């Protein structure tokens, strides 16, 4: 398949859009896409979305902007301007105002920028001791955009919010000076959107540096779901797979962190074949996804997804809680509900698939898991723990919060019988009280 992508500018040319969507639905997409980035490709359109089931189809909701993603008053504002044919500059201004209300920079990412010799590595984040994130500048877009994506400010070009870095040399120097770092995680956007040539230039430098404490190269990507041809028919498919093999042969653990939101994404023959080829290089594929209303908030979806992934030789890794940014009001699932779905699906899968952890919130202090709902002296509580902490000492220590049926995120929870959670004082000291 030859890659063809569509955006807000030309989506009306998509034959399925013309055939299956009403004028009203097309207008809604146009309105919402003024605020949220929109990009979809021909594989998603032809192979993933079931157009007869639109608008309820989960793959459609995953990639096409949905009316409910804007709060009613914001929707009305933009819809009015679009309807009146107002000039794009004015619409952009209004859209930017709405964007800035949507917490575009969650989880204190600005605190995690590493430094070496007084120089900031603006394209990297070092939050958890063992793992450094690397945002190669050529990998800051994706094959299609997920409607719930928390990286959305990167794609709409709110300038000061972008991360990107070309200076791989500085990154390598930093890793060398930090013996606690065992993992480097290529992330984005989607680093697998980089051409093989660019990707290889990064990898070769890392391999050449031969840093003894660096054990794992991770790639966080949605390419298997959105463009499996990267490993099948793209002109650099064979070279990309060869490079994976080179990494493995050099003694690294190559962790391919695949992002799937629904079992439907794993089912196509293309994905099955691409998965086989990636595994044949010696890479291990681990899978992760947030839990999302309208897309995968059901026990059956997760049960089926995890089982299928194990059958395909992948390792289920994380279930995330959708972050406190963008259209969280639309995609958000109550914490107690996320836990119930996790638990009920987890109970019904083989022990082999119970490698999965969650539901987990990537928040400013760390990755906080909802271990469950329980009762202490007759009081209903949430039991939580850290899967990752800004201070590694916080990990694996259960703590409690008052039960709150309406909570979507940690900041809506209150400690049980205490002024603050055990980590809060230290947290303030670490990042400043801002
Ligand atoms: C999730 C995450 C990692 C990786 O965490 P693991 O639990 O090791 O997968 C690293 N850095 C940041 C900032 C993260 O959010
Ligand atoms: S693939 Fe990842 S980074 Fe890209 S739009 Fe989806 S969630 Fe965001």
pLDDT tens readout for residues 201-251: 999 999 999 999 999 999 999 999 999 999 999 999 999 999 999 999 999
Mean pLDDT of the chain: 94
For residue 304, pLDDT over 70 is answered with yes
**Which atom number of ligand 2 is nearest to the Cα of residue 220?**
2
Helix (H, G, I), strand (E, B) or coil at 341: helix
CA-angle at 151, arms to 159 and 420, nearest 5°? 105
Residue nearest atom 1 of ligand 2, based on CA coordinates: 222
Q: What pLDDT sits at residue 86? A: 86
Q: What pLDDT sits at residue 432? A: 65
Q: What pLDDT sits at residue 157? A: 65
Indicate the top mutation candidate among 224, 259, 260, 288 to test ligand 2's pocket, ranked by most ligand atoms within 8 A of CB. 259
Question: What are the residue boundaries of the structural domains of the chain, listed by start?
Answer: 5-100, 106-321
Would you give the DSSP letter of residue 283?
P
For residue 161, pLDDT over 60 is answered with no
Residue 417: which pLDDT band, with cuts at 50, 70 and 90? confident
Residue nearest atom 3 of ligand 2, based on CA coordinates: 189
Distance CA 307, CA 287 (A): 12
Tokens coding 47? 């192979």
324 vs 296 pLDDT, higher one = 296
How far from 213 is each of 208, 219, 251, 393, 424, CA to CA, in Å? Answer: 14, 18, 12, 21, 31
Residue 326: which pLDDT band, with cuts at 50, 70 and 90? confident
Residue 324: which pLDDT band, with cuts at 50, 70 and 90? confident
Q: What pLDDT sits at residue 249? A: 98
For residue 158, pLDDT over 70 is answered with no
For residue 110, pLDDT over 70 is answered with no
Residue nearest atom 6 of ligand 1, based on CA coordinates: 388
pLDDT tens readout for residues 89-109: 999 999 999 999 988 877 666
Residue nearest atom 7 of ligand 1, based on CA coordinates: 388
Q: Where are the beta strands (DSSP E) in 43-196?
A: 115-116, 119-120, 124-128, 131-134, 183-186
Residue 137: which pLDDT band, with cuts at 50, 70 and 90? confident
Residue nearest atom 13 of ligand 1, based on CA coordinates: 127
The DSSP bridge pattern shows strands 115-116 and 119-120 to be antiparallel
Token pair 């949905």 is at which residue? 66
Q: What pLDDT sits at residue 369? A: 98
What is the distance in A from the centroid of ligand 1 to the CA of 127? 8
For residue 160, pLDDT over 50 is answered with no
pLDDT tens readout for residues 373-396: 999 999 999 999 999 999 999 999
Q: Is the CB of 125 under 6 A from ligand 1?
A: yes
Of 337, 358, 342, which Cα lies nearest the Cα of 408? 337
Distance CA 274, CA 251 (A): 23
pLDDT tens readout for residues 267-289: 999 999 999 999 999 999 999 99
Q: How confident is the model over 72-88, as a mean pLDDT?
A: 95
The CATH architecture to which 106-321 belongs is Alpha-Beta Barrel (3.20)
Residue 166: which pLDDT band, with cuts at 50, 70 and 90? low
Under 8 Å between Cβ of 358 and 342: yes
Of 238, 236, 234, which Cα lies nearest the Cα of 281? 238
Q: Is the CB of 265 under 6 A from ligand 2?
A: no
Distance CA 5, CA 329 (A): 28
The DSSP bridge pattern shows strands 253-259 and 216-221 to be parallel
31: CB partners within 8 A, 6+ apart: 67, 70, 75, 78, 79, 82
Distance CA 192, CA 194 (A): 5
Residue nearest atom 12 of ligand 1, based on CA coordinates: 127
Ramachandran assignment for 197, one of left (phi > 0), alpha (psi -120 to 50 degrees), beta (any other): alpha
Tokens coding 160? 């000061």
Any idea which ligand is nearest the CA of 146? 2
Q: What pLDDT sits at residue 334? A: 97
Any idea which ligand is nearest the CA of 111? 1
Residue nearest atom 4 of ligand 1, based on CA coordinates: 131
Neighbour tally for 390: CB within 10 Å: 21
Q: What percent of the chain has pLDDT over 70?
A: 96
Distance CA 282, CA 260 (A): 20
**Which atom number of ligand 1 is nearest to the Cα of residue 133?**
11
Neighbour tally for 9: CB within 10 Å: 9
Neighbour tally for 275: CB within 10 Å: 21
CA-angle at 363, arms to 432 and 175, nearest 5°? 75
Under 8 Å between Cβ of 226 and 41: yes
Under 8 Å between Cβ of 191 and 230: no
Q: How confident is the model over 113-141, as a mean pLDDT?
A: 91
For residue 311, pLDDT over 60 is answered with yes
**Which atom number of ligand 1 is nearest to the Cα of residue 357?**
7
Of 298, 300, 316, 312, which Cα lies nearest the Cα of 356? 316
Torsion sign over Cα 157, 331, 354, 258: negative
Q: What pLDDT sits at residue 431? A: 77
Residue 154: which pLDDT band, with cuts at 50, 70 and 90? confident
Indicate the top mutation candidate among 38, 146, 221 to test ligand 2's pocket, ranked by most ligand atoms within 8 A of CB. 146
Q: Is the CB of 190 under 6 A from ligand 2?
A: yes
Q: What pLDDT sits at residue 192? A: 97
Q: Where are the beta strands (DSSP E) in 252-308?
A: 253-259, 284-291
């Amino acid at each position: 398949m030859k890659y063809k992508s569509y955006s807000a500018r030309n989506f009306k040319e998509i034959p399925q859009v013309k055939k299956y969507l009403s004028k009203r639905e097309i207008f809604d997409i146009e309105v919402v896409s003024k605020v949220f980035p929109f990009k979809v490709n021909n594989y998603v359109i032809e192979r993933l979305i079931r157009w007869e089931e639109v608008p309820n189809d989960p793959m459609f909701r995953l990639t096409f902007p949905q009316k409910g993603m804007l709060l009613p008053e914001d929707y009305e504002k933009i819809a009015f301007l679009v309807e009146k044919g107002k000039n794009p500059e004015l619409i952009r201004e209004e859209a930017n105002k709405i964007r800035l209300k949507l917490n575009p920079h969650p989880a204190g990412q600005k605190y995690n920028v590493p430094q070496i010799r007084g120089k900031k590595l603006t394209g990297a984040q070092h939050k958890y001791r063992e793992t450094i994130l690397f945002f190669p500048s050529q990998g800051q877009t994706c094959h299609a955009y997920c409607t719930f994506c928390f990286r959305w400010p990167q794609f709409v070009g709110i300038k000061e919010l972008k991360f990107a870095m070309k200076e791989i040399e500085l990154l390598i120097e930093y890793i060398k000076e930090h013996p606690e770092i065992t993992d480097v995680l290529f992330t984005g956007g989607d680093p697998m959107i980089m051409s093989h040539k660019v990707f290889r230039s990064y990898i070769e430098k890392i391999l050449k540096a031969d840093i003894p404490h660096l054990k794992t190269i991770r790639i966080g990507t949605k390419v298997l779901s959105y463009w499996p041809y990267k490993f099948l028919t793209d002109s650099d498919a064979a070279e990309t797979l060869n490079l994976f093999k080179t990494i493995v042969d050099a003694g690294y653990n190559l962790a391919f962190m695949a992002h799937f939101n629904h079992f439907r994404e794993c089912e196509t023959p293309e994905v099955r074949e691409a998965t086989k080829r990636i595994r044949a290089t010696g890479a291990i594929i681990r899978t992760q996804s947030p839990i999302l209303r309208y897309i995968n908030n059901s026990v059956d979806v997760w049960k089926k997804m995890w089982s299928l992934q194990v059958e395909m030789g992948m390792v289920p890794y994380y279930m995330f809680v959708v972050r406190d940014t963008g259209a969280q009001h639309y995609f958000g699932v109550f914490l107690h509900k996320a836990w119930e779905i996790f638990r009920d699906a987890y109970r019904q899968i083989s022990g082999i698939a119970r490698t999965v952890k969650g539901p987990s919130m990537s928040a400013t202090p760390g990755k906080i898991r909802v271990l469950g709902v329980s009762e202490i002296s007759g009081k209903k509580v949430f039991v939580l723990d850290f899967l990752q902490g800004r201070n590694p000492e916080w990990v694996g220590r259960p703590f409690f919060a008052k039960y709150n049926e309406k909570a979507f995120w940690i900041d809506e929870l209150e400690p049980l019988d205490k002024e603050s959670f055990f980590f809060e004082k230290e947290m303030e000291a670490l990042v400043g009280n801002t």
